[in-house]
Amino acid sequence: MKLKQLKNNIYVLQAMWILIVIVATVVIILGSDKLLSLDKVNGEETPGADMTVTDNSDYSDIIWQVKTIGENMNLPENKVDMSGFENQILYTDAIYYDVVKPISKDLIEEKNTAKKKKMVAFTFDDGPYPAVTNRILDVLEENNAKATFFVIGDRALLYSETIQRINELGCQVANHTCGHKQLSKLKEESIVYEVEHSNALINKVIDVGNVMLRPPYGDYNKLVSNTVKVPMITWSVDSEDWKSRDKDKIIKEVLNTIGENDIILMHDLYGTTADAVEYLVPYLISKGYELVTVEELFERNDIELTAGKVYSDAK
């Protein structure tokens, strides 16, 4: 009897093993078409490195994700073969060569929402002027918004603490020359001085290298374009804050014309400008706008800036 019982137990165990093997095989077969082994992507054996493939996004995202892998793994992009994966999205978090983790759905949602947001870039000229600039920075900080400050070189040195605060908040410090002259009326060496001396003064305060230029009055000519070694940024929305010095008029002027990828001109010199900004920043965010620096506006629109060229928006 004992022997029979033992035999029965062995049969049960064997049956269980067979069942486990069958289930595992089915799981592997069913799962295999949802996993893309990295050796398909880069032609090399990368154990344990799989990317989950789901089916609810568009082709543009695949390019982005594969690019991420290529960059993180130092693989040339032309080695990436995506054939057969059209209309699917690859979610990966390729931090190390042999570690690829699927990105959570929440993170993808977050990335997609960030892409869809309407961006605008607020810009402030002629400062810094701490009494006003700091009020603007307070609003930006409270709302996690960014802006760009085209500063006068001498003022940057004079108000170095304000420049440092702009920089620390992730806002952009850029150049508005040292003498605020009409560059089109100057000779080459004066243009160079106006731009480069101011840039050097900014760099005495923060280490930012050659920064973008806003030519005073938005004025330039061919000589200016050929002389400056950085992109020139003008604007597509003029708040006329220097003219009206009236909070409501500034707000009206901006809201009448503002749209996606616009660059808004303001001056951090007037209390009325700060009043308007205190209203506009939370209001625009509530309307689905994201306030970014000029640099980010172009970067996220995949627009590469060329030295000497003039850009008034990122449309």
Q: Which residues bind Ni ion (CB under 5 A)?
A: 125-126, 216
Closest of 284, 271, 276 to residue 130, by C-alpha: 271
Q: Which residue is nearest to Ni ion (CB)?
A: 125
CB of 209 to Ni ion, least distance (A): 22
Burial 148-164 (b: 16+ CB within 10 A, else e): bbbbbbebbbebbebbe
Question: Considering beta carbons, is residue 128 or 216 the nearer one to Ni ion?
Answer: 216
Q: Which is nearer to Ni ion, 70 or 153 (CB)?
A: 153
Pull the structure tokens for residue 245: 């010095």
At closest approach, how far in Å is the CB of 311 from Ni ion?
17
Q: How far is the CB of 50 from Ni ion (least distance, A)?
A: 55
Rounded to a whole number of angstroms, the minimum distance from the CB of residue 107 to Ni ion is 41
End-to-end CA separation in angstroms for the chain: 87
Q: Which is nearer to Ni ion, 126 or 253 (CB)?
A: 126
Which one of the listed residues 262, 267, 268, 275 is annotated catalytic?
Answer: 267
- Residue 180 is among the residues annotated as catalytic for this protein: no
Please indicate whether residue 125 is annotated as part of the active site. yes
C-alpha pair distances (Å), 66 with each of 39, 50, 56, 115, 299 = 13, 13, 17, 17, 19
Residue nearer to Ni ion on the CB measure, 119 or 228: 228
Distance, C-alpha 315 to centroid of its chain: 16
* Cα–Cα distance list, 192 to 52, 83, 186, 195 (Å): 54, 51, 10, 5
Nearest distance, CB of residue 181 and Ni ion, angstroms: 10
Query: Do 166 and 149 contact (CB within 8 A), yes or no?
Result: yes
70/216 with CB nearer Ni ion: 216
- Beta strand 289-291 with 172-175 is unpaired
Residues serving a catalytic function are: 125, 267
